């Protein structure tokens, strides 16, 4: 992928922006704009937008069309918005999607003064399809998961911000990225970071939008504030519009910002909270709080523009102290590890042990493979998740691991 060469002529793009503004419904409110796109993405005809399917490809084409309309420059492969990658890993195998092609959608708003420095705003657009192994209704029959809040909301947020920044261009370049494969293990964002041809230190920050559509009691969560010394300063300077913001320092989490954090890039993750419809067929567009979304996205815009006013040297990177597990658990018990989602052998391989967590205290190391927990055999990540969901805080659990092909027993205190 070449973010510098893959450009449409500036004049053509200017005409596109002008044309799109002329064609826009002058009576369309921001809430109407967001509802229009979420309704399309979460419609039953989209089939749940599972990565590696024709439904996902249709959604990728739709996102490309919106990026073109808003005047974004193609920043994918071969002068297009599309960046392809192959699905692989244990979650992919569990969903019977191995070796299928998936795709990120990448557009750029070229900076007026500093085109070679970047701010990334991302959201995953893939959904849960017909459910199955990634559904919270694990034992239910296959059913369409509309995936409205998770994450048509973040995808529509990209459109909202793309239109804003294209109409009032920043001094730095903005990369708008719709990731796929998030639901199967952050595959698309990991691929983007591994393949990008720009230096990580030219990216001043990455802002991730995942589940921003269910604002309740004005409560907004922002993760990653410990990944730069500047985040708290920026957040304290931005108008909150009555949002009740809770911050968390951790740069790791169960969404695409983690891929950028691991490349030493400051990150923020915007999130309006979980709900009873999470990863279920009831996550539908009619439950979205569109007024709340607009307020959240206006906050994101203000934060991004504050970053834009800084230099890359000011936006330093810090390894955050409040690390979060990549796996969302139901009862709060966590081991404090990042799974290796690409591992296809037997067991659950630990990619990274988080500092000061249960695993580090118990003596786990990066690369350890968990093969048993409390006498239960662990064959894959799903066995691990099921076993961990049975653990309560305060439990002591014997865990069998393979380390350098030798079996060991460790005791973990939760």
At 98-120, the pLDDT tens digits run 999 999 999 999 999 999 999 99
Domain ranges (residues) in the chain: 10-308, 337-413
pLDDT band at 352 (very low <50, low <70, confident <90, very high): confident
> What confidence score (pLDDT) does residue 234 get?
97
pLDDT band at 267 (very low <50, low <70, confident <90, very high): very high
Average pLDDT of the segment spanning 65-84: 97
114: left (phi over 0), alpha (psi -120 to 50) or beta: beta
> What confidence score (pLDDT) does residue 333 get?
61
Average pLDDT of the segment spanning 338-354: 76
Residues 399, 341 contacting (CB under 8 angstroms): no
pLDDT at 327 over 70: no
In angstroms, the CA 292 to CA 11 distance is 36
> What confidence score (pLDDT) does residue 380 get?
81
pLDDT at 166 over 90: yes
Average pLDDT of the segment spanning 339-351: 76
pLDDT band at 17 (very low <50, low <70, confident <90, very high): very low
**Residues 212-252: tens digit of each pLDDT:** 999 999 999 999 999 999 999 999 999 999 999 999 888 88
> What confidence score (pLDDT) does residue 344 get?
62
> What confidence score (pLDDT) does residue 10 get?
40
Q: Could you tell me which CATH class the domain 10-308 is placed in?
A: alpha beta
- More confidently predicted of 253 and 73: 73
Residues 171, 111 contacting (CB under 8 angstroms): yes
> What confidence score (pLDDT) does residue 158 get?
98
> What confidence score (pLDDT) does residue 362 get?
94
Residues 109, 174 contacting (CB under 8 angstroms): yes
> What confidence score (pLDDT) does residue 392 get?
82
Average pLDDT of the segment spanning 303-317: 95
Mean pLDDT of the chain: 89
pLDDT at 343 over 90: no
pLDDT band at 354 (very low <50, low <70, confident <90, very high): confident
pLDDT at 330 over 60: no
> What confidence score (pLDDT) does residue 342 get?
55
> What confidence score (pLDDT) does residue 26 get?
60
> What confidence score (pLDDT) does residue 371 get?
96
Q: What are phi and psi of 61, to 5 degrees?
A: -65, -40
Tokens of 373: 């927990």
Q: Which CATH number among 2.60.120.200, 2.30.42.10, 2.40.170.20, 1.10.1060.10 corresponds to the domain 337-413?
A: 2.30.42.10
> What confidence score (pLDDT) does residue 331 get?
42
Percent of the chain with pLDDT over 90: 71
Average pLDDT of the segment spanning 199-208: 96
In angstroms, the CA 304 to CA 206 distance is 9
Judging by beta carbons within 10 Å of its beta carbon (0-12, 13-18, 19+), is residue 36 exposed, middle or buried? middle
> What confidence score (pLDDT) does residue 218 get?
96
Specify the range with the lowest mean pLDDT, choosing from 18-32, 56-70, 132-146, 178-192.
18-32
pLDDT at 334 over 90: no
Highest mean pLDDT (candidates 2-11, 144-153, 323-332, 390-399): 144-153
Nearest one of 91, 86, 181 to 127, comparing CA atoms: 181
pLDDT at 14 over 60: no
Average pLDDT of the segment spanning 360-386: 90
Specify the range with the lowest mean pLDDT, choosing from 26-30, 227-231, 352-356.
352-356
pLDDT at 73 over 80: yes
CA 119 to chain centroid, in Å, comes to 15
């Amino acid at each position: 992928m070449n973010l510098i060469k893959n450009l449409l002529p500036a004049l053509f793009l200017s005409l596109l922006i002008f044309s799109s503004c002329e064609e826009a419904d002058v009576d369309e409110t921001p809430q109407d704009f967001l509802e229009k796109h979420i309704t399309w993405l979460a419609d039953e005809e989209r089939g749940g937008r599972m990565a590696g399917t024709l439904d996902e490809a249709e959604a990728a084409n739709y996102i490309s069309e919106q990026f073109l309309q808003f005047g974004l420059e193609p920043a994918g492969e071969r002068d297009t918005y599309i960046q392809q990658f192959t699905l692989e890993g244990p979650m992919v195998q569990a969903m019977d999607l191995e070796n299928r092609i998936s795709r990120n959608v990448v557009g750029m708003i070229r900076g007026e003064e500093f085109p070679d420095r970047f701010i990334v705003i991302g959201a995953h657009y893939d959904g849960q399809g017909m459910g199955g192994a990634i559904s919270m209704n694990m034992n239910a029959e296959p059913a369409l998961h509309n995936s409205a809040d998770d994450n048509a909301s973040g995808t529509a947020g990209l459109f909202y911000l793309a239109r804003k920044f294209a109409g009032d261009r920043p001094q730095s370049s903005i990369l708008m990225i719709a990731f796929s494969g998030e639901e199967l293990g952050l595959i698309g964002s990991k691929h983007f970071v591994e393949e990008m041809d720009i230096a990580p230190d030219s990216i001043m920050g990455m802002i991730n939008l995942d589940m921003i559509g269910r604002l309740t009691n004005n409560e907004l969560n922002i993760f990653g504030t410990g990944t730069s010394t500047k985040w708290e300063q920026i957040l304290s300077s931005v108008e909150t519009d009555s949002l009740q913001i809770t911050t968390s320092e951790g740069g790791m989490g169960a969404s695409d910002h983690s891929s950028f954090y691991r490349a030493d890039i400051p990150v923020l993750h915007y999130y309006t909270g979980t709900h009873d419809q999470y990863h279920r067929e009831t996550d539908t567009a009619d439950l979205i709080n569109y007024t709340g979304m607009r307020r959240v996205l206006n906050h994101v815009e203000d934060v991004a523009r504050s970053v834009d006013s800084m230099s890359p040297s000011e936006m330093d990177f810090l390894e955050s102290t409040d690390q979060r597990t990549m796996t969302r658990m139901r009862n709060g018990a966590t081991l404090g590890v990042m799974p290796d989602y690409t591992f296809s052998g037997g067991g659950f391989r630990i990619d990274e042990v988080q500092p000061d967590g249960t695993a580090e205290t118990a003596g786990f190391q990066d690369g350890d493979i968990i093969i048993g927990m409390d006498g239960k055999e662990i064959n894959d990540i799903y066995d691990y998740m099921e076993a961990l969901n049975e653990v309560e805080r305060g439990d002591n659990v014997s865990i069998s691991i393979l380390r350098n092909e030798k079996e060991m027993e460790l005791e973990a205190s939760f």
